[in-house]
Structure 1
Amino acid sequence: MSVDTQPSTPPAVVRRKYLLDAGFQFRYMFRLAALGGGGVLLVGLLTYRVHKAAVDSGASPLALATSGETMLWLTGLGALAIAGLLALFGLVITHRVAGPVYVMSLYIATLAAGRYPRMRPLRKKDELRGFFDRFSEAVDRIREREAEEARLLSEVIETLEPLATTEETRAALSILGSIRARKRQATEGPTAGALKSVA
């Protein structure tokens, strides 16, 4: 029997579904398209009016050249204004997404430290509400399961304590007691630190 010594390459992951949260994605796609398209249309209308005014007045070639320079300035300033508006809009959008992600990363760090975080609701205009609700529900279910396991461990320890006559059985009960204490501390104790508010 021969052993294959060639390293196996992981299969390439191809994602073909681009609309994962259609409501969220369409809402911001249309807002960005409207802002960008509306800005370009406004700049185009302004430059057209400058050009039409120069042509209608029977301008000389020198005046047409001057109106061309004005159109270039309008186009440049319009592009800067649109870029600024899109950057500002992008900041608002990313803040509404980054805020919940930041809060959930703090919750995950608290979970990794062996504690259960005190969950708070998202801000009114935050995105990712569905994901955050599922995340909160999962944390609550795990916390309930841990509390139930701590309760069951208490019952087992109370039942076995009178029967623990050897050093080995007392050591086993001590281990069960430390597991119970850790579960109780995780589910009932305060969190490791207060979450910062994301404004």
Structure 2
Amino acid sequence: MGSQNRAWKRRTYLIDREFQLKYIFMLASIGAGSIALFGALAWWAHTAALEAGSGSEGFAGMTILWLTVLAVIGTAVALGLFGLVFTHRVAGPVHVMNLYVEALAAGHYPRLRPLRKYDELKKFFDRFSHAVDRIRAREAEEAQVLGQALAAFQPLAQSDEARAALKTLEELHLRKREAVNKPVSGSHPVAPSR
């Protein structure tokens, strides 16, 4: 019980090394580039004030202040636009997979489409697609075996209980066949089946 109360700590921070390092490098580059540009402009204002003489220190101070304001706004805009592009590349695949999961939960197999060229999470999506394909293949095999069993048992069903049990199995067989043979579009949510 004592081990359950201890805080769980993640020790591996780079889980998807390629994906994470790519965006860490991009963010670091945008930040470093913005600060370097600001530093260069501030140095220019400082040296210009020194060359102009002692009367222009107030001008240099105001120039540096305005450069600071522009650097803050420019960095915020650049990182905001980068965040928009990045989140779109991640949120798009997550949204699509959520629609696929809704279809699966409703008892339908989604018609999977590949991700866009610049989308992220491609490895995860490939694994997800592979899992859906394997589950669908297993369900198709089960539907086939169930159909063969129904064909063998139908002539033997003499009692009302046996016919009722066969009817339940036929409904299950039909549901499995329809789920496997009629994939739904993954672009729209599927209404849950009753």
| TM-score, normalized by the shorter chain, greater than 0.5 | yes
More helix by share: 2
Q: Distance in 1 between matches of 2:171 and 2:143?
A: 10
Q: 2:81 aligns to what?
A: 88
Q: Distance in 1 between matches of 2:175 and 2:74?
A: 57
Q: 1:72 aligns to what?
A: 65
Higher relative contact order (CA 8 A, sep 6+): 2
Q: Distance in 1 between matches of 2:6 and 2:127?
A: 29
Letter in 2 for 1:37: A
Tell me whether 1:178 sits opposite 2:171 in the alignment.
yes
- C-alpha displacement at 1:190, in angstroms? 4.1
Change (3 A) 1:11 1:156: farther
The question of whether the paired residues in 1 share the 8 Å contact of 2:143 and 2:176 is answered with yes
- C-alpha displacement at 1:56, in angstroms? 1.9
**What percent identity do the matched residue pairs reach?**
51
Question: Tell me, what secondary structure is at the counterpart of 2:110?
Answer: coil
- C-alpha displacement at 1:11, in angstroms? 6.2
Question: Tell me, what secondary structure is at the counterpart of 1:39?
Answer: helix
**Superposed, which structure 2 residues align to 1:28-177 within 5 Å?**
28-60=23-55, 63-177=56-170
Letter in 1 for 2:70: L
The question of whether the paired residues in 1 share the 8 Å contact of 2:108 and 2:179 is answered with yes
The question of whether the paired residues in 1 share the 8 Å contact of 2:100 and 2:186 is answered with no
State which drifts further: 50-59 or 36-45. 50-59
In the alignment, which of 10, 21, 28 is matched to residue 26 of structure 1? Answer: 21
Equivalent residues, number: 187
Letter in 2 for 1:164: A
Q: Distance in 1 between matches of 2:111 and 2:6?
A: 39
Q: TM-score, normalised by structure 1?
A: 0.89
Change (3 A) 1:135 1:48: same
Q: Distance in 2 between matches of 1:92 and 1:190?
A: 31
User: 1:124-156 CA deviation, whole Å, 9 max, x = no partner?
Assistant: 011100000000000001011111111001000
- C-alpha displacement at 1:194, in angstroms? 5.3
Q: Distance in 2 between matches of 1:36 and 1:107?
A: 37
Q: Distance in 2 between matches of 1:143 and 1:185?
A: 11
Q: RMSD between aligned alpha carbons?
A: 1.7
Change (3 A) 1:129 1:169: same
- C-alpha displacement at 1:14, in angstroms? 2.1
In the alignment, which of 164, 187, 190 is matched to residue 195 of structure 1? Answer: 187
- C-alpha displacement at 1:59, in angstroms? 2.7
Q: Distance in 1 between matches of 2:92 and 2:5?
A: 33
Q: TM-score, normalised by structure 2?
A: 0.91
Q: Which segments of 5 or more consecutive residues in structure 1 lack a partner in the other structure?
A: 1-5
